[in-house]
Each structure stands twice: as structure tokens, then as C-alpha cells.
């Protein structure tokens, strides 16, 4: 899975990602290399400084994970060489 936004996940897109993630009860994490952050944390998302087309692992777990995953991939990520984990 890759970041599809031309600006990457900086400031406003990071804020929107956190807001979308917080609408759902499922746990959701982004993992890049050896860093794993909670997508419901603005500080965590901003700390990654994800540029466009950076490959990530998206980890979701919960009863509404399918809806969450659909919204995240529609708005923020490209499903290329995807690594999506459902715990």
C-alpha cells in the first residue's frame, strides 16, 4: 500500500486521516520500516512525515475494519503491493 496524495500525509491530510480513523472503533496502525504508529494520534501520523508513494503496512483490527479500510484506501492510500493485516 502506498500514500496516494501528492502532498503526502503532512498537516491537513494527516489531520483528516486521524479524523477518519477516529470515526471507527477498530484499531488502525501504519507501519513503516520498524516504526508503528496509531492512526488515531495526530502526533504519531505527523511524526512519520509520509511522502507521496511511500510504501506502508496498514494494520486494522475490529468489527468495523472493512469499512475503515475502504475509506482509508479510497481517500489516502493506493492498494499497490499491499500489505494489509487484519489481526
Q: What are the pLDDT digits (tens) for 4-58?
A: 877 777 888 899 999 999 999 999 999 999 999 999 999 999 999 888 888 899 9
Q: Higher model confidence: residue 80 or residue 12? A: 12
Confidence tier at 80 by pLDDT (50, 70, 90) = low
**pLDDT tier for residue 82 given thresholds of 50, 70 and 90:** very low
Taking the C-alpha atoms of residue 36 and residue 75, their distance in angstroms, rounded to an integer, is: 20
Burial status of residue 78 (CB atoms within 10 A of its CB: 0-12, 13-18, 19 or more): middle
Residue 67 has pLDDT above 50, yes or no: yes
Class of domain 2-86: alpha beta
Residues whose CB falls within 8 Å of the CB of residue 21, separated by 6 or more in sequence, listed in order: 28, 39, 40, 68, 72
User: Which residue reads 472493512 in cell numbers?
Assistant: 66
| pTM over 0.85, yes/no | no
Amino acid at each position: 500500500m502506498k500514500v496516494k496524495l501528492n502532498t503526502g500525509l503532512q498537516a491537513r491530510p494527516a489531520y483528516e486521516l486521524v479524523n477518519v480513523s477516529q470515526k471507527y472503533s477498530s484499531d488502525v496502525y501504519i507501519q513503516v520500516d520498524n516504526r508503528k504508529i496509531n492512526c488515531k494520534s495526530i502526533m504519531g501520523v505527523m511524526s512519520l512525515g509520509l511522502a507521496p508513494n511511500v510504501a506502508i503496512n496498514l494494520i486494522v483490527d475490529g468489527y468495523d475494519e472493512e469499512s475503515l479500510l475502504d475509506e482509508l484506501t479510497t481517500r489516502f492510500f493506493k492498494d499497490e503491493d499491499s500489505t494489509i493485516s487484519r489481526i
